[in-house]
Chain A
Amino acid sequence: AAGVIQSPRHLIKEKRETATLKCYPIPRHDTVYWYQQGPGQDPQFLISFYEKMQSDKGSIPDRFSAQQFSDYHSELNMSSLELGDSALYFCASSLADEQYFGPGTRLTVT
């Protein structure tokens, strides 16, 4: 069965640079979520979209923005990167309650 696709899988950026993470949800899933998992921590919710509209917002810094496109894929844009942004970024998608996670993008900021 098709799963959530995230790209890239690994990304290395320098401080103050920008990064764009992409997420392709499971076909027919109408809701996309972004989570950030720091080293040794549990995932923290950033933002979600339902039918291309932002539906919920968590602890997402103002330097980050996200959107969901007409084909339901989503992008997380991160600017002015800081060392503390180094983390595993998950995208998840759902049609009902169960959220299925992608493999994650590991971002390292140097």
Chain B
Amino acid sequence: AQKITQTQPGMFVQEKEAVTLDCTYDTSDPSYGLFWYKQPSSGEMIFLIYQGSYDQQNATEGRYSLNFQKARKSANLVISASQLGDSAMYFCAILIGDNAGNMLTFGGGTRLMVKP
């Protein structure tokens, strides 16, 4: 079974600095996708960024970028120029295979706190 691990339960970052949230995964399937979601205290799950296992380039979306190291099975999220509104829980998730209806398996999450 696939497994996804976030080793940092909580992190602090100074406003305007960059921060890296770690995510490692374990799967033997060659086809998979990696996702990051943000969950603020209000509870909604906000999709941030996606990386496919066959993608050659690291995914970027505005201030978010995904540092994808396939050989190390890591997919770290980098947030540049942190803002106070970035304070939230961040979940890494993996989707195995390419069939419709495949489920996401989530890591335990990292709580990010941005200091003014």
Residues of A within 8 A of B (CB): 30-31, 33, 35, 42-45, 48-51, 55-56, 58, 88, 90, 92, 97-104, 106
Contact = CB atoms under 8 A, between A and B. Distances in A.
Contacts of B101: 31, 33, 48-50, 55-56
A92 B35 CA distance: 14
A103 to B, nearest CB: 5
A43 B109 CA distance: 10
Nearest to A98: B50
Contacts of A35: 104
B45 A90 contact: yes
A43 B33 CA distance: 17
B12 interface: no
B71 to A, nearest CB: 22
Contacts of A33: 101, 103-104
